[in-house]
């Protein structure tokens, strides 16, 4: 499966806020719920599913002059700002963080729907502040993972520290004495719904968020979801209408949406083009003016929130932290509230944007620490770190991730279990939203049962295992639920038909404006986990978008569909389907398997069965060895004897032979709904 920014495919986008189907035949079906965004205001409840479609908009001129009188100089000449994107681990003693008390710190995230321009805007802000060199040749600088670059999407939130000061205080004024120098921590977040856990974690370190909205596409499903994440975290939200350079940009329409859906004052919206640079000079002044400084207590005991972590071959576990109260210095002895383990701070610094040692982190600052943690399991995301022997109230931490898609992960070669074990342990250090338990399959041997936030998340996790740790993985059919949001105007009819075919129950249907509709459906996750999103996109010419929320379990007529190879059930291929669809799904599964299993020296029967009842069957005939090749004109009894012997041998092989199932066959099964 692959997910490209421009052409999302169904399987990937169908990520899930869902729980695992029960695996027994008596389990109930999982349902999905779409929610309406209608009438969103500060009192609104979080919405569930959105279906919206946007007709092409006409180009429109806009006039907007917010912040036009604000004069600012983005300081790119400071001695500690780097002009090189690759300056990892400089011993940057010039960075004196003690010059930045909380009132001169602003921590903010950039949040948006997929592709609305978060990472590009982050690039521009890093360039404007001299944090990275202009035209560094690497767009979306903070998207560092190979998987992010290949797919063109952000999957990990990334923090970067920038330094910024106003011209009004005089260019050239020394950093130490310039009262309006600011330390800004920017967190670029992913837009895809599968990675919203990254967004919510990032928001915990922020007091404000730039809500970026594409000037042509307007408010989309993840705009709404992310708005509510920020709103519920009580952050100051600055709306940024981006991509105003596009011919179809219609900022006035977007402003009206922001007002009607979120009660955001249209006059507060910034108009930008991260591509051309238009309007960007107003962004950081707005951040400084509107977002409050962090509220921590300087003279209090240290309390530090563990935001994220990753494993570095040389340094061990590196933790990203936000200092909520107090001060942290290199050499300090700290403890973990979650595990009670004690550590010494070996290194501390900021991401500027690479690791830059500073020796200290003060109240309100965001940075990294190296503590000599030996095991990745010790780094508990959401943990509170504090000075040894001090008594502190632990911070609230994060809500646990809700796993919606569960899949078995097995080493492609059974003997590589330890390699996979090691790889999963390291990767989950950097992706705490994945749950992992060991399991055994008779067909695939020792492996893991993993919970993901969605199919794209699952797919990205597989890819990262391969790319970053060289582990080759077979994944089993996900036992998963999904939820969506859509928007549509002109395509409403076909969306309704699609949802009805998928056993959806319409809960709400309303229009946001003349071109957009919101629909709320309760859908069985099983029905949308595969291909639903592709169909939705193709039916609506790509205009529909969706978001989803877990709904309650519902009673449903579900059956367990087993796949048998030569009479032996393959547990990894068993799936739960609705009784009405069992016949069709069974037939599709055996037909697919027939295509992907190679002929062998014996006949292979592939069956789909519910309990003892076989509902579909295919046969792969045996490869025929010409046992008569050497009988030049021999007598007919001799030939018959040889053929009889071959037949006997084949029967035996069939009985004892094990069928080789290629990895591709497992992947193909994922695509049958
Ligand atoms: N015309 C135009 N294109 C832009 C602008 N900003 C970003 N883009 C383009 O929009 C596409 C998506 O930009 P990204 O910055 O990757 O979007 P994103 O929101 O970070 O995407 P995800 O992280 O995947 O959610 C890229 O092709 C950018 O070049 C803009 O102001 N104008």
Could you read off the pLDDT of 360-373 as tens digits, one per residue? 999 999 999 998 87
Q: Are strands 366-370 and 549-550 parallel, antiparallel or unpaired?
A: unpaired
Query: Would the CB of 430 count as within 6 Å of ligand 1?
Result: no
| Whether the Cβ atoms of residue 4 and residue 537 lie closer than 8 Å to each other | no
C-alpha span between 367 and 350 (Å, rounded): 4
Nearest to 377 by CA among 440, 331, 309: 309
Coil, strand or helix: which one is 639? helix
Query: Would the CB of 223 count as within 6 Å of ligand 1?
Result: no
Say what the pLDDT of residue 297 is. 92
Nearest to 616 by CA among 587, 573, 637: 587
Can you list the alpha helix ranges (DSSP code H) found in 385-501? Answer: 417-430, 455-469, 492-501
pLDDT above 70 (res 651): no
Nearest to 615 by CA among 662, 659, 651, 583: 583
Say what the pLDDT of residue 566 is. 85
Helices and strands per DSSP (H, E), number in the chain: 15, 30
Burial class (CB in 10 A: 0-12, 13-18, 19+), 402: middle
Coil, strand or helix: which one is 146? helix
Q: What is the pLDDT of residues 233-278, one digit of tens each?
A: 899 999 999 999 999 999 999 999 999 999 999 999 999 999 999 9
Q: What is the ipTM of this complex?
A: 0.98
Taking the centre of ligand 1 as the mean of its atom positions, its distance from the CA of residue 404, in whole angstroms, is 28
Query: Would the CB of 112 count as within 6 Å of ligand 1?
Result: yes
Q: What is the pLDDT of residues 548-602, one digit of tens each?
A: 777 878 888 889 999 888 888 888 788 888 888 889 889 988 888 888 777 776 7
Say what the pLDDT of residue 589 is. 86
Q: What is the pLDDT of residues 595-612, one digit of tens each?
A: 877 777 678 889 999 988
Q: What's the mean pLDDT in 303-328?
A: 89
C-alpha span between 182 and 178 (Å, rounded): 9
Measured from the Cα of 122, ligand 1's closest atom is 15
Burial class (CB in 10 A: 0-12, 13-18, 19+), 640: exposed
Nearest to 478 by CA among 609, 565, 574: 574
Burial class (CB in 10 A: 0-12, 13-18, 19+), 649: middle
| Whether the Cβ atoms of residue 327 and residue 334 lie closer than 8 Å to each other | no
Residue in 109, 119, 247, 283 to alter for ligand 1 test, most ligand atoms within 8 A of Cβ:
119
C-alpha span between 82 and 96 (Å, rounded): 15
C-alpha span between 365 and 106 (Å, rounded): 9
Say what the pLDDT of residue 489 is. 45
What are the angstrom distances between the C-alpha of 400 and each of 30, 198, 405? 20, 12, 15
Query: Would the CB of 87 count as within 6 Å of ligand 1?
Result: no
Direct distance between the N- and C-terminal alpha carbons of the chain, in angstroms, rounded to an integer: 15
Query: Does residue 252 or residue 159 have the better pLDDT?
Result: 252
Can you list the alpha helix ranges (DSSP code H) found in 274-433? Answer: 283-290, 417-430
Measured from the Cα of 143, ligand 1's closest atom is 23
Taking the centre of ligand 1 as the mean of its atom positions, its distance from the CA of residue 140, in whole angstroms, is 9
C-alpha span between 191 and 118 (Å, rounded): 8
Nearest to 34 by CA among 22, 13, 17: 17
Q: What is the pLDDT of residues 454-510, one digit of tens each?
A: 888 888 898 888 888 888 888 887 765 445 454 444 778 888 888 888 888 888 888
């Amino acid at each position: 499966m692959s997910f490209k920014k421009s052409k999302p495919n169904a399987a990937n986008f169908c990520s899930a806020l869902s729980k695992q189907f029960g695996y027994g035949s008596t389990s109930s079906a999982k349902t999905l719920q779409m929610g309406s965004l209608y009438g969103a205001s500060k009192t609104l409840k979080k919405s569930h599913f959105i279906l919206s479609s946007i007709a092409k908009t006409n180009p429109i001129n806009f006039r907007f002059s917010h912040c036009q009188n604000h004069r600012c100089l983005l300081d790119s000449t400071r001695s500690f700002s780097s002009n090189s994107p690759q300056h990892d681990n400089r011993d940057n003693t010039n960075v004196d963080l003690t010059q930045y008390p909380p009132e001169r710190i602003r921590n903010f995230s950039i949040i948006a729907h997929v592709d609305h321009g978060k990472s590009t805007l982050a690039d521009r802000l890093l360039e404007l502040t001299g944090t990275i060199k202009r035209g560094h040749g690497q767009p979306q600088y903070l998207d560092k993972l190979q998987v992010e670059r290949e797919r063109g999407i952000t999957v990990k939130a990334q923090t970067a520290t920038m330094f910024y000061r106003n011209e009004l205080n005089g260019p050239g004024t020394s950093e130490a004495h310039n009262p309006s120098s600011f330390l800004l921590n920017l967190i670029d977040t992913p837009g895809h719904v599968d990675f919203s856990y990254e967004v919510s974690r990032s928001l915990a370190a922020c007091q404000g968020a730039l809500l970026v909205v594409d000037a042509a596409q307007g408010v989309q499903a993840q705009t709404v979801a992310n708005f509510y994440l920020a709103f519920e975290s009580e952050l100051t939200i600055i709306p940024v209408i981006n991509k105003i350079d596009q011919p179809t940009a219609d900022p006035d329409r977007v402003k009206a949406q922001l007002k009607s859906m979120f009660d955001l004052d249209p006059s507060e919206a910034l108009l930008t083009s991260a591509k051309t640079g238009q309007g960007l000079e107003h962004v950081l002044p707005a951040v400084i003016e509107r977002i409050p400084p962090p509220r921590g207590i300087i003279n209090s005991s240290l309390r530090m929130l563990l935001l994220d972590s990753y494993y570095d071959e040389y340094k061990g576990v590196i933790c990203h932290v936000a200092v909520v109260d107090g001060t942290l210095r290199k050499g300090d002895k700290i403890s973990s509230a979650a595990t009670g383990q004690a550590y010494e701070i070996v290194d501390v610094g900021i991401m500027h944007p690479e690791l830059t040692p500073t020796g200290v982190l003060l109240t309100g600052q965001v940075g990294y620490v190296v503590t000599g943690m030996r095991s990745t399991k010790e780094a508990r995301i959401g943990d509170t770190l504090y000075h040894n022997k001090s008594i502190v109230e632990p911070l609230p931490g994060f809500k646990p991730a809700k796993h919606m898609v569960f899949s078995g992960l097995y080493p492609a070669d059974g003997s590589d279990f330890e390699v996979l074990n090691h790889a999963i342990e390291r990767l989950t250090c950097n992706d705490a939203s994945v749950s992992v338990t060991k399991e055994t399959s008779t067909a695939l041997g020792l492996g893991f049962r993993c919970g993901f936030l969605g199919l794209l998340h699952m797919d990205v996790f597989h890819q990262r295992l391969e790319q970053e740790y060289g582990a080759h993985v077979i994944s089993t059919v996900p036992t998963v639920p999904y939820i969506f949001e859509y928007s549509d105007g002109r395509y409403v009819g076909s969306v309704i038909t699609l949802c009805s075919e998928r056993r959806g129950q319409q809960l709400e249907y309303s229009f946001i404006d003349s071109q957009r509709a919101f629909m709320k459906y309760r859908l069985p996750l099983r029905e949308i986990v595969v291909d639903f999103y592709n169909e939705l996109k193709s039916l609506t010419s790509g205009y529909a978008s969706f978001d989803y929320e877990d709904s309650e379990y519902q009673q449903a007529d579900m059956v367990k569909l087993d796949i048998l190879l030569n009479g032996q059930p393959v547990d990894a291929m068993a799936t739960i389907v609705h009784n009405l669809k069992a016949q069709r799904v069974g037939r599709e599964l055996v037909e697919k398997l027939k295509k992907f299993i190679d002929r062998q020296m014996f006949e292979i029967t592939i069956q789909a069965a519910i309990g003892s009842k076989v509902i579909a069957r295919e046969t792969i005939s045996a490869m025929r060895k010409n046992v008569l090749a050497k009988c030049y004109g021999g007598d007919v009894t001799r030939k018959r004897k040889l053929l009889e012997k071959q037949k006997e041998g084949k029967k035996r092989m069939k009985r004892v032979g094990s069928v080789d199932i290629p990895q591709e066959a497992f992947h193909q099964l994922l695509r049958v709904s």
